[in-house]
């Protein structure tokens, strides 16, 4: 009785993975008690190059719906090589077979066989892509019948496949046996499709594909470079403790990258058990223990504005505003990106052409500062970021860009609403007013700010 190895039970799933064509998920056994080929069959060996058949090797593909034999077409299979293991003579390629039944004629099990060397015309007996099998010549093996009806041994006369499902075909059968039409006919149905290595010679063959009804299933493993991209696995973040006087700290996590290899046993891509690359990721974050020191308020800084001629192409940033339209909203707080290398530092922000100081700001852990844009501004301007300078002095231009300030939208926060305090500079810590904005300026203008928007300004290298 044909009992395939457990490893072969997922062959059909492998076929789906390789080609997307669904074949039955498990190999089925013929009815109990049938002698002959079925009881001798052994499962082929699955390799990266295809299915390796040895003597009596059989690929058994059940057809659960038992379609009629007449419905099959587009039949083919490819044998890459057949090598004789002992003796002399041809190394016969495996045969292609239908396992059929016909309840109308009490036929419970029979095999119909197509072999390369049995065809009219010259075919390679050992290897090749054999196609159009439905148009070739077939012969029948023993025909088992239900009840007490005797088994019929056919004389293996080659027949067109249509003889086995046509009405009233009187093809030759063994002497004294039922007529051909009493065994086969329109109700002949397919229980399984089989590729079978013969038992008469000691041959090993490599089958790389099978095609049923025009759908080809490859038994060759996919190329090594066609598998999934490597997977990165991350550990948990660990925060580096820092004293409450430190505004920022770091957090780190381990990362491992795993490649995939194709497994013959699983017939699927399997992630490697050992990482091919390991590293540590570290980022700067706000210190959760930080406490802003208290102290008396001090006057706002009053640096001098940079001269317009210092806004050169060398410091102009093409990435200053990242919304694509270089538009920022008036009356709202806009985040500006000044660079991760300036985290914890302070910068001054100006608006030109008539210089207007927006304030001094502390750079957050993500490299941004939150800048209130006055509600009375509109039209084309230049936003300029400089290094902080003492009162009356000019800071170095770090980056600048042309921007369009859009008028406040309906529903925007009213003037006088509190601004985002994410990077307000404490008075006692720096000597500057909270929010980095001159109070006198806001009193005169009657303006307030609120947190919203998303503007990113990248700092360009300072040109000395």
**Other C-beta atoms lying within 10 Å of the C-beta of residue 395:** 20
Please report the pLDDT score of residue 339 as a whole number.
Answer: 81
Q: Quick one: which of 184, 207, 181, 183 has its CA closest to 194? A: 207
Please report the pLDDT score of residue 324 as a whole number.
Answer: 64
Please report the pLDDT score of residue 11 as a whole number.
Answer: 38
Q: How confident is the model over 291-317, as a mean pLDDT?
A: 83
What's the pLDDT tens digit per position in 122-153? 899 999 999 999 999 999 888 999 888 888 88
Q: Is the pLDDT of residue 17 over 60?
A: no
Query: Does domain 308-445 sit in CATH 2.60.40.10?
Result: yes
Please report the pLDDT score of residue 249 as a whole number.
Answer: 92
Please report the pLDDT score of residue 137 as a whole number.
Answer: 95
Please state, in angstroms and as integers, the Cα–Cα distance from residue 60 to each residue in 127, 210, 406, following that order.
20, 12, 73
What's the pLDDT tens digit per position in 402-427? 888 888 766 554 433 334 444 545 43
Tokens 């041959």 label which residue? 203
Tokens 């919203």 label which residue? 452
Q: Is the pLDDT of residue 14 over 80?
A: no
| Average pLDDT across the chain, whole number | 79
Please report the pLDDT score of residue 296 as a whole number.
Answer: 62
What's the pLDDT tens digit per position in 182-228? 899 999 999 999 999 988 889 999 999 999 999 999 999 998 888 99
Residues 6+ apart with CB under 8 A from 167: 181, 185, 186
What's the pLDDT tens digit per position in 248-299? 899 999 999 999 999 988 889 999 999 999 999 999 898 999 887 776 666 7
**Other C-beta atoms lying within 10 Å of the C-beta of residue 378:** 13
DSSP codes of every residue in 234-246: E---EEPP--TT-
Q: Quick one: which of 144, 167, 146 has its CA closest to 154? A: 144
Q: Quick one: which of 207, 197, 196, 200 has its CA closest to 89? A: 200
What's the pLDDT tens digit per position in 93-104? 999 999 999 999
What are the residue boundaries of the structural domains of the chain, listed by start?
6-221, 225-286, 308-445
Lowest mean pLDDT among 45-54, 372-381, 423-432: 423-432
Q: How far is Cα of residue 438 from the mean position of the Cα atoms in its chain?
A: 53
pTM of the model: 0.57
Alpha carbons within 13 A on the beta-carbon side of 260? 17
User: Hey, what are 154's tokens?
Assistant: 């056919």
φ and ψ at 302, to 5 degrees?
A: -130, 65
Please report the pLDDT score of residue 371 as a whole number.
Answer: 85
């Amino acid at each position: 009785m044909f009992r395939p190895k457990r490893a072969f039970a997922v062959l059909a799933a492998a076929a789906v993975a390789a080609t997307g064509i669904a074949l039955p998920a498990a190999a089925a056994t013929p009815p109990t008690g049938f002698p002959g080929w079925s009881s001798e069959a052994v499962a082929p060996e699955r390799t990266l190059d295809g299915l390796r058949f040895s003597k009596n090797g059989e690929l058994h593909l059940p057809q659960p719906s038992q379609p009629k034999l007449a419905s099959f077409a587009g039949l083919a299979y490819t044998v890459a090589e057949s090598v004789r293991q002992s003796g002399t003579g041809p190394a016969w390629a495996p045969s292609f077979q239908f396992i059929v039944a016909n309840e109308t004629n009490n036929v419970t099990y029979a095999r119909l066989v197509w072999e390369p060397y049995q065809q009219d015309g010259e075919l390679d007996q050992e290897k090749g892509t054999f196609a159009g099998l439905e148009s070739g010549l077939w012969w029948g093996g023993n025909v088992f019948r239900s009840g007490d009806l005797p088994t019929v041994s056919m004389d293996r006369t080659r027949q067109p496949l249509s003889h086995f499902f046509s009405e009233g075909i009187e093809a030759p059968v063994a002497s004294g046996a039922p007529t051909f039409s009493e065994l086969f006919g329109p109700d002949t149905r397919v229980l399984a499709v089989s590729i079978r290595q013969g038992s008469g010679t000691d041959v090993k063959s490599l089958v790389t594909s099978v095609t049923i009804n025009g759908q080809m299933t490859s038994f060759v493993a996919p190329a090594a470079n066609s598998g999934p991209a490597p997977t990165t696995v991350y550990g948990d973040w660990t925060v580096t403790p820092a004293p409450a006087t430190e505004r920022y700290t770091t957090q780190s996590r381990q990362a491992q990258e795993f490649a995939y290899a194709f497994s013959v046993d699983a017939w699927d891509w399997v992630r490697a058990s050992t990482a091919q690359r390991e590293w540590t990721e570290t980022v700067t974050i706000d210190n959760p223990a930080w406490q802003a020191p208290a102290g008396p308020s001090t006057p706002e800084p009053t640096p001098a504005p940079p001269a317009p001629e210092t806004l050169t192409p060398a410091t102009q940033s093409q990435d200053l505003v990242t919304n694509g339209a270089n538009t920022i909203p008036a009356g709202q707080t806009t985040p500006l990106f000044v660079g991760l290398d300036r985290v914890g530092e302070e910068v001054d922000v100006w608006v030109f052409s008539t210089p207007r100081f927006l304030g001094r700001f502390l750079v957050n852990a993500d490299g941004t500062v939150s800048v209130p844009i006055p509600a009375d501004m509109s039209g084309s301007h230049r936003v300029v970021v400089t290094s902080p300078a003492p009162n009356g002095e000019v800071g170095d231009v770090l980056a600048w860009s042309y921007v369009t300030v859009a008028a406040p939208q309906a529903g925007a926060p009213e003037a006088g609403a509190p601004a985002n305090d994410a990077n307000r500079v404490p008075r006692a810590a720096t000597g500057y007013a909270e929010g980095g904005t001159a109070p006198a300026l806001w009193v005169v203008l009657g303006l307030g700010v609120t947190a919203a928007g998303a503007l990113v300004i990248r700092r360009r290298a300072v040109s000395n």
